[in-house]
Structures are given as structure tokens and as C-alpha cells.
Amino acid sequence: MTNLAEGIFNKVLIIDDDDLSIFLISFTLQKIPYIKSSESVTSGWEALKFLEESKGQGPDLILVDLNMPEMDGFEFMERYDKKFAAEYPETKLIVVTSSQRESDKTRSLSFRSVKGFVQKPLTEEKLRGVLSDQ
């Protein structure tokens, strides 16, 4: 899990249905020294399965897109808060999206597990900024 005192994230989970976005986010994370590893899934359903199979060894940070088919980011965050927030109390969820709607930001930040809202493209500066607000 996260060593918040040292600012290290051992495992990051990326949830995005766009392969290019996953590539760019992964590439950005590889350049950040306090990010040790990342994994990606392409849907909210895959993310829920990943968390169920993690058995207490879940990610320290989850980066979730809003606009995905089948299960959008809002539905994922709702299910996460109900089922996994208690199991992973230190895990931070950050919304990484192309949405510029203030209503999406407000709604995202209303979930108890969501700690930030960042517009794509993700950069180290944006991530550092939202994490430093914690």
C-alpha cells in the first residue's frame, strides 16, 4: 500500500477504455519516481474484478476516466464507494478525463473516495498538484 509519509505509490490502477489514453498515462507514470508500478483495465467491470481478486493488496491510486461504455466512471465510483472503500481506506481515486463540464467535476468530487479531478492529458505536475491537496 501507499507509504504516504514518503509519497510513494507502489501500485496504480488505470481505468480507461481508450488505448492511446492508457499508453500516454502509463508513459507519464513511468517517468514519475514515486510511482513504482501501474496496471490498466479497459472498463469499470474489469476494475471491479481486479479489486475483488486483489484480496487486500489493492492499488494505492486509481485513475479513472468518466466516459466509458457499459459502465461509466460515475457508476464505477458509486460501486467502489459501496463495496471497496472500507477495504482500501488509503486508496486515492483521481478522475482523469477529457470532460470540461463543471457538473462532472462537482459530481465526481461528491464521491467520498475521489480525491481529485484532472483534465487530460495527465502530466506529472497535474498529478502532483492534486495529490498535494490531500
* Domain spans of the chain, in order of start: 12-132
134 has a pLDDT exceeding 80: no
107 has a pLDDT exceeding 80: yes
Cell numbers given for 117: 479531478
Using CA atoms in the order 15, 35, 130, 44, what is the torsion angle rounded to 10 degrees?
10
pLDDT at residue 106, as a whole number: 98
pLDDT at residue 7, as a whole number: 72
Residue with cell 513511468: 30
Contact between residue 104 and residue 119 where contact means Cβ atoms under 8 Å apart: no
CATH topology of domain 12-132: Rossmann fold (3.40.50)
